[in-house]
Each structure stands twice: as structure tokens, then as C-alpha cells.
Chains A and B, each alone.
Chain A
Amino acid sequence: MDITFDQVSYVYQPGSPFEHRALQDISFSIQSGSFVAIIGHTGSGKSTLLQHLNGLMQPTSGRVSVGPYDMEAGKKNKRLRELREKVGVVFQYPEHQLFEETVSKDIAFGPENFGVEEQEIQTRITEAVRATGLSEELLERSPFDLSGGQMRRVAISGVLAMNPEVLVLDEPTAGLDPSGQREIMDMFHNLHKEKQLTTVLVTHSMEDALKYADHIIILNNGEMYREGTPLEIFKQKEALEAVQLDVPEVIEFLAKVEEKMNIRLPYEGQSVAELAKDLARMVKGGRDLE
């Protein structure tokens, strides 16, 4: 589903001494089927923005559209329920929200609430645990007897069982070990492609933004700071540092190579092996010329 923000502002506790403007005049469009990363330091407005995507928050001014659903300041949206069926949100540390007696009941909770038929729910549970890599043997266990990594996968399965068209991910890999992080992100990326989802990822990891996203939005103090493709964004080292963000390590290292050795090797999404081949050739090339 296409997502559009049109001059969206959001103010917490307006008119009180605690008034705080969390989003300021934000406009952007995300095409259906894109994988978008939203980055920015803590307090930049990422979480506030994210909560507009499924109508948990309504703009103080401006308009948010997600597919056919509009949320406009001052107007009541009667189709929030439909919107929430289409937009799946994986919040930070989603395993803290598990509550049912068994894994399968926990996964079924969302679709049951939206009146999905029993047989269809069973199919969805099977698909969801397959996607998240949970063994079906765990379905009748209590989610609280599982490891942290497994609990995270149960919580994510619950969101997937809603069959969302838009997937919103708020730092989905925080606290996982390196292989757990890779597995979860690869899984979301595969689902994104297979089911042609529109995916919005909030992340602190520039590496993940570079690896998975096709579009990046940077927020700073509630305002849109930059947007563009990962390669466009990560060329702007100084602009990123000005808002306390880093460039991904591969780009940083190549910049140092250029500075120190005058070897220019632009990053264009090459794998580490491809980069190494080019770099080795150029390093040796220097020797051959002399």
C-alpha cells in the first residue's frame, strides 16, 4: 500500500507546560512494495512517526494516508479497525507482550479478534511459524518457557498471522545475538519480497539500513532531515555526523582507503568478497606501476 505523509505535525500535551512538538511538518511518499528504513538518534521522532502508520496516533495537523485509509487532523477515522488489520506492527521487545497459555493461542489472538475463521487461523499459524523458523513442536508449550530468541519469534508470528500488507518494524533485532539478528532480518526481507509487502523499518543499525532498505528517511528533532536511496544517503558523511549518525562501516573504511592511499573504490552494493577482489587488485596495481 502507498503511504503518504502530508505536512504532518504531532504535538504531545498541547497547551500544557509539557507541550512537546515531536513531529514538525513532515511530508514524504512511500511507494507500495518499498522497503524503507527510518533512522535518527533517540528522540528524533521515529517512534511517534511509526505510531501514525496504524492510527495509534492521529496527526495534530496535516494528513497521513495508508493505502485507501486517511487520517486527518481533527477528523475521526471510522475505518481504523480495517487499517489495523492491514498494518502489522512489531514493536520493540515484542516478547514482553506475550500473554497466552500456549504459543498457538498467542499467535491466534490477533486473527481471532478480527473474526478470521478457525480453519484459516490454523493455516496462518502453520505458515507464520514456518516463516519465523519456530518448530511446530513448540505450539502447545507456554511461550514463557521458551528462550528469549524463541519468544521474539512467537511475537513476530502473531503479527504475521494477521496477513498484513504493510509491516512496520521497530528495532526488531535489539538484544538478539549476531546470528539471531541476521536470521530475523533475512526473514523479514524474504517475506517482503515474497508477499510484496510495504515494509517500514525503524533502526539504529546503518548496516541494516544499507543492506535491506531501498529508501531511507532521516529524522532529526522531529523534522525530515534527508531522504534518498541508501547509496545517496551514505555518501553524505558530514551531514550524517551533524545529526550524530554514522555511515556504515564498509563506506567509512573505503573513505579511509581513499584518503590514505589515494585508491578510489566507490561502494555500489558489492559483497565483501567483491570489494576485496577490487581492493587487492588496486593495492597490488600500485606496486606493479612503480
Chain B
Amino acid sequence: MSHFPGNSQLSRGGEELEKNQIEFRNVSFRYHDEAPWVLRDVSFKIDADEWVAIIGHNGSGKSTIAKLMNGLLFPQEGEILVSGQKVEPDTIWDVRKQVGMVFQNPDNQFVGTTVRDDVAFGMENHGMPRELMVERIRESLQAVSMTDYERQEPHRLSGGQKQRVAIASVLAVSPKYIILDEATAMLDPKGRKEIMQTIRDVQGARNLSLITITHDLQEVTQADRVIVMNNGEVWMEGTPRDIFSEKDRLIDIGLDTPFISKLADELMNAGLTISREPLNHQELLEELWTLHSTK
């Protein structure tokens, strides 16, 4: 079922690029010898500065990919390279400096008694000098718009604020890659918007690769590229526009398409010509406007 659109990295190639990439090479994983394979022969690359969304049904292997990226798990077959370095028990501390993770439950990722302490925690683990830490705390709280909360107790924050602090804690260590594993799933609509705005700001301002694992289709439309997982295999890779034009097939594998994509489809069924798959309201409105005003 899977197909891979032309891989542009191949032509660019070169050592320099590899240094800022995460690469999965024929990775297979299962939890123990008799267990079914959770991932089967998975290969893909994530470039520097890229925002990649990984989607798939529950149990498709998405979260396992995240855990393999920063050495919480190791594959039985194949290898994972982070900035050209193989992820294995000896290298995980180097790898984890580069790969930051934010998890689903905002209440499970706090250790400090204040926001400030919490952001400091990761840096302390990496043995960073104090002056640099103070500077980094300021910068990273600023990046997520939480400067005013530096002295607050984390448990007094809303879910969205907690997740922003969790992102700040990750940023403080200056990783090259940030993985958000369903980081918005437990938030209310306002919290989700806050996080998405934060993610966009952070990605715009720093040279970071972002990997978001999500069920939220609205989130997916904003990524540069999407990897669709199905039963432990890479089912499709492409831009959000490519992915969401595969409506029926997505539904077959337990996924869905955004409202705007469904509406565009039905508009075509009703006889309108929509020139390209719209990803947001603005794009579909522009299509309709053109049709409406053309004589």
C-alpha cells in the first residue's frame, strides 16, 4: 500500500545535511520475542528546520517512533541516526541533549516547585554553568510567553500553560529536534491554540526540527510534511495537501480528513472545479471567490 514520493534529500546529499537530520533505516521493533512487531521496516528522514507531523490510528506505532528517537527504546533491527550519530545505550546522553520531548499529560512532567526551577532542571542534568542557566531560563520562558510566571507553582497553571512550560524546559537545553507526543490531546480548545501558536513562534525563531505526533487534523495541516503510519509501517509520506487528497484511503485506515477538505470534495461532486486541495478556510474561500466572480 505504501508509496514514497520522490526523495529530495537524495539529490542534495552530503555530510553537512546528515548532521542535522534524524534518520530511521529499516527499523523494526517489538516489545519482546513473542510479541507482534510494533514497527516493521520503517525508513524515513527528518531534515533540519522541518516540521513533520506523524499520524496514524491508535496502535499504529507513532509513539514507539518517538521513544526510539531519543533512546527510551532500542530497535531489534535497523538503526536510528540522530545528527549522524547512531542511537544506542552508549550515546543516549548525547542524543537526549539534541532531542527534547513533550508528552501528553501536562501533570506528569513537572519536577520543580516553581516554573523557574522546572525549566532549570534539564539544564542542571546537563551540568550547565549558572550564568548560562539564568540566561537560558529567561530566553526560553520568553519564547513561550510565560515570563510573568517564573515564580509560580506549576500546579496553579492551566493545562496549556503547563505544556508551554514543558516546551520551555526542552528549549532551555537547546535541542536540535523537539518531539511533541500528543502534547495537545488533553487540552481545551484555548490551550490547544496557545500551544500551536507557541510551536509556530518557536519554529520560526530557531533552527529546529519539529516532530508532532497527533490526532488533531487541524494541527497536521500546518506541518511541512506528514508521515502516515498504519499497522507499524510507513503508509504514505507527503505534504499535508498530498495526504488529505487521499480521503477514502485515509478513512480506511482509521483516520479522517479536515472539514474543509471534505467540503471541497463535495463541492467538486456538486460540479464546481476546485483547482487544488484546500488546507484552510482562506484557500477554499479564494477558490470560491474566483468561481463566483469569473464571468
Contacts and interface: CB of A to CB of B under 8 A. Distances in A.
A276 B56 CA distance: 28
B185 A42 contact: no
> Which one of B185, B186, B191, B217 has the greatest number of beta carbons of chain A within 10 Å?
B186
Interface string B45-84: 0000000000011110000000000000000000000000
B256 A256 contact: no
B295 interface: yes
Contacts of A178: 215, 217, 254-256
Contacts of A180: 57-58, 254
Nearest to B256: A178
A279 B287 CA distance: 13
A126 B271 CA distance: 47
Interface in B130-159: 158-159
Interface stretch (A127-135, A158-166, A243-251): A243-251
Given A257-B285, A261-B288, A283-B291, A174 B269 contact: no
A252 B263 CA distance: 13
A176 B60 CA distance: 12
A146 to B, nearest CB: 10
Contact of B189 (A147, A244, A276, A283): A244
B217 A287 contact: no
A290 B182 CA distance: 50
B190 interface: yes
Given A261-B292, A287-B291, A287-B294, A176 B58 contact: yes
Interface in B239-295: 251, 254-256, 259-260, 262-263, 266-267, 269-272, 281, 284-285, 288-289, 291-295
A260 interface: yes
Contacts of A276: 263, 266-267, 269-270
A276 B104 CA distance: 36
Contacts of A204: 188-189
Main SS class of interface, A: helix
A253 B292 contact: no
Contacts of A287: 291-295
Interface string A262-277: 0100000000110111
B158 A280 contact: no
Nearest to A182: B256
Contact of B58 (A147, A244, A250): A147
A228 interface: no
> Which one of B56, B215, B289 has the greatest number of beta carbons of chain A within 10 Å?
B215
A208 B285 CA distance: 24
A137 to B, nearest CB: 16
A152 to B, nearest CB: 9
Nearest to B290: A283
B240 to A, nearest CB: 15
B272 A283 contact: yes
Nearest to A285: B292
B189 A179 contact: no
Contact of A256 (B57, B259, B281): B281
A149 interface: yes
Nearest to A179: B254
A177 interface: yes
B59 A245 contact: no
B254 A284 contact: no
B189 A284 contact: no
Contacts of B291: 283-284, 287
B270 A250 contact: no
Contacts of B267: 276, 279-280
Contact of B251 (A179, A249, A250, A275): A179
Contacts of B57: 177, 179-180
Interface of B: 56-59, 104, 158-159, 182, 185-191, 215, 217, 251, 254-256, 259-260, 262-263, 266-267, 269-272, 281, 284-285, 288-289, 291-295
14 contacts: A147-B59, A149-B58, A149-B59, A176-B58, A177-B58, A180-B57, A272-B263, A272-B266, A273-B269, A276-B266, A279-B270, A280-B267, A280-B270, A287-B292
Q: 10 closest A-B pairs (Cβ-Cβ)?
A: A276-B266, A178-B256, A280-B270, A179-B254, A177-B57, A149-B58, A244-B190, A286-B292, A249-B259, A276-B267
